[in-house]
């Protein structure tokens, strides 16, 4: 029952060995009857107890992520390294002959709605500062990225090295100031980035031009922001935020004028111009419209829930109160924040 010091260094035969003079973060104390399962290539390990341990624990005494060693996850006698290779292996198993019928039935297109949903959920967790939620949602997002790769592997279309290799080559190409002899362009970096992207497009590509590669499916506010950002790289932009602010005031006046028009199409057009101008002003002030509106939404929702709770405490039925009472409750909620 004596403690056993385990080094993190590995060889391909899954035999744990020392690695020079390991530091505290490179060793752990393990007592029998625990069994250490170590991935032969990545150095990721997990602890199995009895018939199987779903999860694992960190090898190493360091508490910082950079000092941790990731784990292998056990499912009975099967092992999955806790990295992207492990996720790919898991998906191959799930889509195998003895896997899950639902997973086998999926196609790249049927998974797109789930992929978009997971991307939105990951973004929400990040924006909310929810660390645990971010870990969980990024895992779900990685699952769907792996799903697309595994299905493509089966079809002989592409594989993980093709995806990763293409990405690495692209990032090297777009960072000449890091991997070449170029210099960082400072405020002109975005313009350089967009120019490099345009140069990558095949000759005769139907998506040529400054706005050629904008996805049609972008949310409207985000698309407006990206349109303005892209045209700014060729000089079509206000020199100062003040110009955009004056344009916004002009659009507000035109929208108000259209509100008395009998043609609803004109009001919609003017209101759209107003939103576009508001996005532009925010962009020049350094504010992204999606992030700002999400924050405003969360703030309003939080305040209104507290308003509901305050009304319930006082026995007030919201539907029976006038606007004056609701405004008073709203002001109390806002005052309590300070």
Residue bearing the bigger pLDDT, 241 or 77: 241
Statement: residue 8 has pLDDT above 50: no
Q: What is the pLDDT of residue 263?
A: 82
> Range with the lowest mean pLDDT among 93-97, 118-122, 192-196, 287-291?
192-196
User: Is 16 in contact with 7 (CB distance < 8 Å)?
Assistant: yes
Residue 73: what are its φ and ψ, rounded to 5°?
A: -105, 130
Could you tell me the CA-to-CA distances from 222 to 24, 120, 145, 239, 318 in Å, in that order? 47, 13, 22, 22, 35
Other residues' Cβ atoms within 10 Å of the Cβ of residue 87: 21
Average confidence (pLDDT) over 40-50:
44
Average confidence (pLDDT) over 45-62:
36
64: DSSP letter: S
Q: What is the pLDDT of residue 140?
A: 94
Q: Percent of the chain beyond pLDDT 90?
A: 49
Residue 37's pLDDT band, with cuts at 50, 70 and 90, is: very low
Helix or strand holding residue 81 (H, E): strand 78-81
237: DSSP letter: S
Residue bearing the bigger pLDDT, 16 or 19: 19
Q: What is the pLDDT of residue 186?
A: 75
Q: What is the pLDDT of residue 248?
A: 96
Residue 207's pLDDT band, with cuts at 50, 70 and 90, is: low
Cα 146 to chain center, whole Å? 15
Average confidence (pLDDT) over 217-226:
89
> Range with the lowest mean pLDDT among 42-46, 127-131, 179-183?
42-46
* Residue among 87, 202, 206, 196 at smallest CA distance from 148: 87
Average confidence (pLDDT) over 57-76:
50
Q: How far apart are CA 217 and CA 113, in angstroms?
A: 12
Q: How far apart are CA 144 and CA 106, in angstroms?
A: 11
Angle CA 278–284–290, to nearest 5? 55
Q: How far apart are CA 25 and CA 274, in angstroms?
A: 57
For helices 289-313 and 264-284, give the axis angle rounded to 10 degrees: 110
Cα-only R_g, the chain: 28
User: Is 91 in contact with 146 (CB distance < 8 Å)?
Assistant: yes
Q: What is the pLDDT of residue 67?
A: 43
Helix or strand holding residue 30 (H, E): strand 27-30
Among 78-82, 140-144, 294-298, name the most confident range.
140-144
Residue 18: what are its φ and ψ, rounded to 5°?
A: -70, 165
Statement: residue 22 has pLDDT above 90: no
Mean of the per-residue pLDDT values of the chain: 79
Could you tell me the CA-to-CA distances from 115 to 12, 75, 120 in Å, in that order? 35, 25, 9
């Amino acid at each position: 029952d004596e403690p056993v010091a385990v080094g993190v260094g590995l060889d391909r035969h899954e035999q744990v060995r020392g690695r020079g003079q390991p530091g505290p973060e490179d060793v752990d104390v393990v007592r029998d009857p625990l069994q250490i399962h170590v991935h032969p290539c990545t150095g990721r390990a997990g602890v199995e107890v009895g018939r199987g341990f779903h999860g694992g624990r960190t090898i190493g005494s360091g508490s910082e992520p950079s000092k941790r060693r990731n784990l292998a996850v056990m499912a009975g006698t099967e092992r999955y390294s806790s990295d992207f290779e492990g996720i790919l292996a898991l998906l191959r198993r799930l889509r195998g002959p003895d896997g899950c019928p639902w997973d086998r039935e999926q196609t790249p297109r049927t998974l797109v709605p789930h992929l978009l949903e997971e991307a939105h959920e990951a973004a929400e967790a990040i924006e909310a500062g929810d660390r645990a939620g971010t870990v969980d949602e990024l895992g779900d997002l990685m699952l769907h990225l792996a799903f697309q790769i595994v299905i493509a592997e089966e079809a002989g279309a592409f594989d993980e090295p093709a995806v990763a290799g293409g990405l690495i080559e692209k990032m090297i190409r777009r960072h000449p100031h890091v991997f070449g002899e170029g210099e960082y362009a400072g405020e002109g970096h975005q313009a350089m980035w967009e120019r490099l992207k345009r140069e990558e497009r095949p000759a005769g590509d139907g998506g040529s031009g400054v706005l050629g590669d904008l996805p049609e499916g972008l949310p409207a506010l985000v698309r407006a922001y990206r349109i303005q950002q892209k045209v700014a790289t060729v000089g079509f932009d206000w020199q100062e935020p003040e110009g955009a602010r004056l344009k916004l005031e002009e659009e507000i006046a035109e929208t108000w004028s259209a509100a008395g028009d009998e043609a609803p199409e004109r009001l919609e057009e003017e209101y759209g111009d107003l939103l576009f101008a508001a996005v532009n002003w925010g962009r020049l002030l350094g504010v992204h419209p999606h992030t700002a509106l999400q924050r405003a939404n969360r703030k309003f929702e939080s305040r209104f829930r507290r308003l509901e709770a305050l009304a319930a405490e006082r026995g007030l039925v919201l539907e029976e109160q006038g606007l004056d009472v609701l405004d008073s409750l709203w002001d109390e909620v806002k005052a309590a924040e300070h």
